[in-house]
């Protein structure tokens, strides 16, 4: 079990038996692992599983939500991607597909926006008043007074260019160039009146292609007044100048139209960008990052996000590795669930042995996962006090008793690594320092501990717990030398003990305050049992320094 | 009290239990449909070297999925169930689609416990064969580290079983011994069952056979899922 590799499944264009094929998978994703996703995950890199339809995958199983999608750092509007229930059930989402335009064909570009019409604040576009490119500009819903009616404007055009590629990852080419620097004016207005809510521009693609649309650049003039910066501008491409035509293509230009129009308004006012961004590609070449909420407890019945370590451990054991639902002691798991409530984030993207993930969970939430001798796996928490049934060993049962103070285990600084960014592979770090380690024990060593913790407050408290410097109810006390007691016990005792359990010692001589032990608790680190002579050997640590 | 020390001279008994597997989806096993229902049955009366029938399985798995024990009526109608007919020593199972479990689509494994001891013994009302070799039980180590150090690990070496009478000559072929659950208990001869302590719970590993003994390596429970 410890060596089972997680994640188990991979992206394949042609998958082996039992796995899913993705024939239109982005080329560089072949054979990489399909991630397993726990918690609130930010800035993860999705894989394009269908470069034709623009379908992306972030996890192998159903996820709770897509919170945000960014393209080259630009926050995409919800209208630009899809995250439907069926898509989320597969750990997927979609983006609008890259428009594909036919060589030599005629198209119509439609621009519309949604800012309020008040007659004073509106956008203007540069226009060619002399028909250099043709008589290709149309007003829609306009002077004719008929909604949806297209009215051609003689000898008028927008000033615009269109770029494209012959392959989705190919080089960009200027395909349509409707610029002429004589006789231009800022004459085309949009939403200056209720009759001018849309404008259209006819264009003809050059021969060749088909062409993947990569950029539309429209020159705009200074706006009238102060149009709202929160408007959404939509660009559509249709194939016929028909009032009833259904838009053939909706170009994903996002908020504020800055990807299309070289002048735009944002929160700080009017801006001019002489080089609008390239349009996002539906294929695997986009630089997409996604914020998601990962797996749920038991969808569709229980859609609670899995973000507690007990639920992550159970899900990995049962649903990823195929263990029995009762393979982990149910009561222990319940205790872990109620006592270790710090949120977890874990995006498992590369094949790693289960043991590596387990050790990260153990270190971050201070528990041990181990066989119980009762036929299941136990989960034992670092807690103070004496559990019921703790064996009390005395001089009559103990032999060869020795104690050690392990100075080399003292650390001055505890660094807790938390919230791994899967795209950059960087952790956040919380840190705590101990003056006791430095001034009493002359140690200035640091210990760095990787965790799956989500929040800074939990990581900071854990750093204090590890050093024992304050707050909280758990202490590992690495600011002090570890106090080890090692001894044999007579026949019979020790056979039902496992590490993490405690024993109580009463002995007349010991390295301890007063020179003896009177019912002092030690936690077991090692049990060595010899069935042939019935003896056992225990290695323990002083519980008062490690609860 | 589990395994109290008692007198050092009192005889200790060590019990070893292995949950071996019996693959029953392929030849020479054949299944009979229970009328027109989705249940199919097989005579499950294979006997060991000493004529002991294997009897009711401890568990049944099909393609690695644990089936539920149920009544015959439910087994006839409900996939992923099994039923043991005590009068005829027949095992009924109902796989997906109610088709023949021996049709080549499924790997069907019935499990049963093999029980051995260091002396003839009855524990839990069941006989234990005295095939655990004297002085053959290796020491057990069960070690963990600090919470930040990770790596809890058990090691146990190997157990030697007596094979002078050839018990394992056919049993190792008739049943799957590798990668199966192995539990060992220790107690004093004649003590109550509750006074025996489990001191190892793990998996079987490599197996060495000789005419005189069979040595079964023992693996940490954490090498597999339960």
Express each pLDDT in A308-343 by its tens digit.
Answer: 999 999 999 999 999 999 999 999 999 999 999 999
For chain A, what percent of residues have pLDDT higher than 90?
Answer: 53
Closest Cα in chain B, distance from residue A449 (Å): 7
- Rounded Cα distance, A21 and A9, in Å: 11
Lowest mean pLDDT among A64-73, A133-142, A302-311, A458-467: A133-142
- Rounded Cα distance, B205 and B203, in Å: 6
| Two tokens, residue A428 | 């956040």
pLDDT band with cut points at 50, 70 and 90 for residue A258 = very low
Longest dimension (CA), chain A: 110
pLDDT band with cut points at 50, 70 and 90 for residue A142 = low
Longest dimension (CA), chain B: 63
Q: Using alpha carbons only, give the angle A276, A282, A288 rounded to the nearest 5 degrees.
A: 75
Per domain, the residue ranges of chain A are 100-274, 392-407+481-542, 413-467
Pairing of the two strands A413-421 and A426-433: antiparallel
| Predicted pLDDT of residue A156 | 84
pLDDT band with cut points at 50, 70 and 90 for residue A264 = low
Cβ–Cβ < 8 Å for B161, B116: yes
SS3 state of residue B23: strand
Question: Which numeric CATH code is attached to A392-407+481-542?
Answer: 2.40.30
| Predicted pLDDT of residue A225 | 83
pLDDT band with cut points at 50, 70 and 90 for residue B1 = very low
Cβ–Cβ < 8 Å for A272, A27: no
Lowest mean pLDDT among A99-108, A264-273, A474-483: A264-273
| Two tokens, residue A168 | 């989705």
pLDDT band with cut points at 50, 70 and 90 for residue A15 = very high
Residue A417 pLDDT > 80 = yes
Lowest mean pLDDT among A18-27, A151-160, B37-46, B84-93: A151-160
Peptide bond into B95 cis (omega under 30): no
| Predicted pLDDT of residue A97 | 66
Order of strands across the sheet that contains A74-75 = A40-44, A288-293, A65-71, A74-75
| Predicted pLDDT of residue A112 | 80
Q: What is the pLDDT of residues A365-384, one digit of tens each?
A: 999 999 988 889 999 998 88
Instruction: Report the DSSP beta bridge partners of residue B115.
Output: B17
Q: Which residue has the higher pLDDT, A510 or A137?
A: A510
Element (H, E) at A95: strand A92-95
Which chain A residues contact residue B147 at CB under 8 A?
362-363, 366-368, 382, 476
Cβ–Cβ < 8 Å for B144, B151: yes
A361–chain B Cβ distance below 8 A for any pair: no
A531: left (phi over 0), alpha (psi -120 to 50) or beta: alpha
| Predicted pLDDT of residue A27 | 87
> Which of A234, A207, A244 has its CA nearest to residue A109?
A234
A514: left (phi over 0), alpha (psi -120 to 50) or beta: left
| Predicted pLDDT of residue A147 | 65
- Rounded Cα distance, B186 and B4, in Å: 10
Order of strands across the sheet that contains B90-94 = B32-33, B40-43, B90-94, B81-85, B68-69
Which chain B residues contact residue A363 at CB under 8 A?
147-148, 150
What is chain B's mean pLDDT, rounded? Answer: 89
Residue A194 pLDDT > 80 = no
| Predicted pLDDT of residue B208 | 93
Among all residues of chain B, which has the CA nearest to that of A491? B5
DSSP character for A516?
Answer: S
| Two tokens, residue A415 | 């660094």
Average pLDDT of the residues in A145-174? 81
Which chain B residues contact residue A366 at CB under 8 A?
147
- Rounded Cα distance, A509 and A512, in Å: 8
Q: Which residue has the higher pLDDT, A230 or B13?
A: B13
Cβ–Cβ < 8 Å for A449, A415: yes
SS3 state of residue A78: helix
Write down the pTM of the prediction: 0.79
- Rounded Cα distance, A257 and B208, in Å: 74
Residue A254 pLDDT > 50 = no
Closest Cα in chain B, distance from residue A325 (Å): 9
Cβ–Cβ < 8 Å for B221, A520: no
| Predicted pLDDT of residue A262 | 57
| Interface predicted TM-score (ipTM) of this complex, two decimals | 0.82
């Amino acid at each position: 079990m410890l060596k089972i590799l997680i994640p188990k499944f991979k992206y394949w264009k042609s998958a082996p038996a039992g796995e899913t094929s993705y024939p239109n998978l982005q080329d560089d994703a072949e054979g990489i692992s399909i991630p397993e996703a726990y918690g609130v995950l930010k800035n993860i890199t999705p894989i394009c599983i269908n470069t034709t339809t623009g379908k992306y995958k972030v996890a192998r199983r159903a996820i709770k939500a897509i919170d945000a999608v960014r393209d080259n750092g630009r926050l995409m509007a919800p209208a630009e991607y899809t995250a439907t229930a069926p898509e989320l059930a597969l750990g997927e989402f979609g983006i609008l597909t890259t428009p594909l335009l036919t060589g030599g064909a005629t198209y119509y570009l439609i621009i519309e926006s949604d800012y309020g019409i008040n007659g004073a604040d509106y956008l203007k576009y540069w226009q060619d008043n002399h028909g250099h490119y043709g008589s290709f500009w149309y007003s829609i819903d306009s002077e004719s007074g008929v909604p949806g009616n297209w009215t051609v404007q003689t000898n008028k055009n927008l000033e615009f260019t269109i770029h494209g590629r012959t392959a989705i990852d190919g080089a960009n080419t200027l395909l349509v160039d409707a610029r002429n620097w004589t006789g231009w004016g800022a004459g085309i207005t949009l939403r200056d009146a209720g009759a001018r809510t849309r404008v259209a521009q006819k264009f003809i693609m050059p021969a060749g292609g088909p062409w993947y649309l990569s950029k539309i650049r429209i020159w705009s003039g200074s706006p009238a007044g102060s149009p709202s910066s929160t408007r959404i501008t939509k660009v559509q491409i249709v194939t016929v100048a028909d009032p009833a035509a259904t838009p053939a293509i909706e170009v994903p230009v996002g908020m504020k139209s800055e990807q299309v129009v070289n002048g735009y308004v944002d929160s700080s006012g009017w801006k001019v960008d002489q080089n609008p961004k390239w349009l996002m590609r539906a294929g695997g070449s986009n630089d997409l990052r996604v914020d998601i909420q990962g797996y749920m407890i038991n969808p569709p019945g229980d859609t609670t996000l899995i973000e507690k370590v007990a639920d992550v451990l159970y899900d990995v054991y049962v649903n990823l590795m195929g263990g029995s639902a009762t393979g982990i002691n149910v009561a222990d798991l319940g205790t872990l669930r109620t006592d270790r409530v710090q949120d977890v984030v874990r995006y498992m993207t590369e094949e790693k042995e289960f043991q590596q993930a387990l050790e990260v969970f153990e270190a971050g939430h201070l528990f041990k996962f181990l066989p119980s001798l009762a036929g299941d796996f136990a989960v034992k928490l670092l807690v103070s006090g004496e559990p019921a049934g703790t064996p009390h060993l005395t001089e009559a049962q103990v032999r060869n008793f020795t104690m050690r103070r392990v100075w080399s285990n003292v650390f001055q600084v505890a660094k807790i690594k938390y919230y791994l960014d899967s795209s950059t592979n960087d952790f956040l770090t919380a840190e705590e320092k101990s003056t006791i380690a430095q001034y009493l024990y002359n140690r200035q060593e640091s210990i760095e501990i990787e965790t799956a913790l989500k929040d800074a407050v939990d990581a900071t408290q854990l750093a204090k717990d590890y050093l024992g410097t304050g707050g909280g109810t758990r202490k590992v006390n690495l600011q002090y030398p570890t106090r080890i007691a090692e001894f044999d016990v007579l026949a019979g005792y020790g056979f039902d003990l496992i590490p993490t359990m405690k024993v109580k010692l009463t002995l007349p001589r010991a390295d301890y305050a007063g020179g003896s032990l009177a019912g002092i608790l030690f936690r077991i680190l090692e049990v060595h049992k010899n069935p042939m002579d019935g003896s056992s050997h225990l290695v323990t640590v002083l519980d008062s320094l490690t609860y | 009290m589990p395994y109290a020390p008692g007198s050092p001279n009192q005889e200790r008994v060590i019990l070893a239990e292995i949950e071996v597997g019996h693959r029953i989806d392929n030849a020479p096993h054949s299944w009979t449909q229970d009328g027109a229902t989705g249940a199919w049955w097989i005579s499950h009366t294979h006997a060991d070297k000493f004529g002991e029938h294997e009897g009711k399985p401890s568990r049944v798995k099909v393609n690695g999925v644990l089936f539920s024990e149920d009544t015959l009526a439910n087994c006839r109608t409900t996939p992923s169930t099994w039923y043991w007919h005590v009068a005829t020593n027949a095992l009924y199972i109902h796989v997906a689609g109610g088709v023949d479990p021996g049709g080549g689509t499924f790997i069907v494994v019935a499990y049963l416990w093999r029980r051995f001891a260091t002396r003839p013994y009855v524990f839990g009302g069941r006989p234990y064969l005295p095939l655990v070799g004297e002085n053959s039980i290796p020491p057990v180590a069960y070690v963990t580290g600090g919470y930040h150090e990770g790596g809890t690990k058990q090691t146990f070496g190997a157990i030697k079983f007596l094979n002078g009478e050839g018990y394992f000559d056919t049993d190792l072929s008739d049943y799957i011994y590798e990668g199966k659950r192995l539990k060992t208990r220790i107690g004093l001869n004649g003590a109550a069952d509750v006074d025996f302590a489990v001191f190892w719970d793990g998996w079987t590993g490599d197996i060495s056979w000789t005419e005189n003994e069979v040595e079964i390596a023992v693996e940490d429970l954490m090498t597999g899922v339960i």
